[in-house]
Amino acid sequence: MIKLIATDIDGTILKHNFEFNQEVKDCIKKLTNDGIKVVLVTGRMHSAADYIAEELGLETPIISYQGGLIKHENKILYEKNLDPQYAKEIIKWAKKNKVHLNLYMNDRLYVEKDDAIIRRYTGERLAGFKVKSFEELELCRINKLLAIDFEDEKKVTGWQDYLATEYENLHIVKSTPYFCEICHQHAKKSDAVNFLKEHWGLKREEIMTIGDQNNDLELLSAGGIKVAMGNATEELKEVADYVTDTVCNNGFVKAVEKFIRGYDEAKF
């Protein structure tokens, strides 16, 4: 019996236009009412996921920063931050190579320049940001770094390959074709879901995990039932137990219908 659904947000339950299908909202409400825990697991900063949980009526902990932070009602349950020395080295690399970098520190977003990239990024996610030279900041409690290029996904793949080779003890992953995330080695979606599994005394077979991007490879590995969206990457589909429909066509709802007994489309 499934007792926990750990789900990615963007491209999984939230469409690419940053809107929910009503069927998804109704499904999550019914799951919650029936005592099945639904936990958001995202690369977003906590403050950019909190309002989504509120919109969905969720009162469960939120896993943010690829698994680097679990927070529930302003209480931190789990936290894995990036070492400041690694952050300094990667900031230096980004400046040398003219890479746009977002710095997340104590759940605040900092950039060194107010430009089209950060405006697009924050506008899509309803997130605020501060402009400050990273050299002027006292680096501590760094949630993650995020390198962005909205035009050239091959360049982002190159960043990931390079950084993963240089920093084998960090967790470096593409969360979209345009985002390269740099995190603590245990800031993984799998680590965070496993923490909640132990916290709630659950078994792996009681957990369903669902996502759409390569950063969800870790998420799926923590589930007894692994679901990839129809719009997922080929790499994620290969490791999934089941490939559902796309986010636009209520793939989340259809996965729930398939794996949770007594659920069918007519009930949503």
> CB under 8 Å to 258, separation ≥6 — which residues?
242, 244
Element (H, E) at 142: strand 142-148
Q: Which CATH number fits domain 4-79+187-267: 1.10.1060.10, 3.40.640.10, 3.40.50.1000, 3.30.70.20?
A: 3.40.50.1000
Q: What is the pLDDT of residue 266?
A: 46
Please tell me the distance from the alpha carbon of residue 253 to that of residue 236, in angstroms, as a whole number: 19
Average pLDDT over residues 82-103: 97
Range(s) within the chain of domains with CATH label 3.40.50.1000: 4-79+187-267
pLDDT digits (tens, 9 = 90+) for 47-72: 999 999 999 999 999 999 999 999 99
> Looking at residue 263, what is its pLDDT?
60
Rounded to 5°, angle at Cα 159 from 139 and 167: 55
- As beta bridge partners, residue 10 has 14
Predicted confidence band of residue 268 (pLDDT cuts 50, 70, 90) = very low
Q: What is the pTM of this model?
A: 0.93
Q: Which of 237, 234, 254 is closest to 245 using CA atoms? A: 254
* Per-residue pLDDT tens digits for 101-153: 999 999 999 999 999 999 999 877 667 899 999 999 999 999 999 999 999 99
The DSSP code sequence of 165-188 is HH-TTEEEEEEETTEEEEEETT--
In this structure, whether the domain defined by 84-184 belongs to CATH 3.40.50.2000 is answered with: no
Which residue intervals of the chain bear CATH 3.30.1240.10? 84-184
pLDDT at 261: 66
Exposure of 63 in the CB half-sphere (CA atoms within 13 A): 28
Say whether pLDDT at 264 is over 60.
Answer: no
Nearest Cα neighbor of 71 from 80, 63, 81 is 63
Rounded Cα distance, 3 and 31, in Å:
10
Write down the pLDDT at residue 126: 63
Calpha distance 240→213 (Å, rounded)? 12
Closest C-alpha among 20, 48, 3, 56 to residue 199: 3
197-208 pLDDT, tens digit per residue, is 999 999 999 999
What is the structure's pLDDT at 128? 86
Q: Mean pLDDT over all residues of the chain?
A: 95
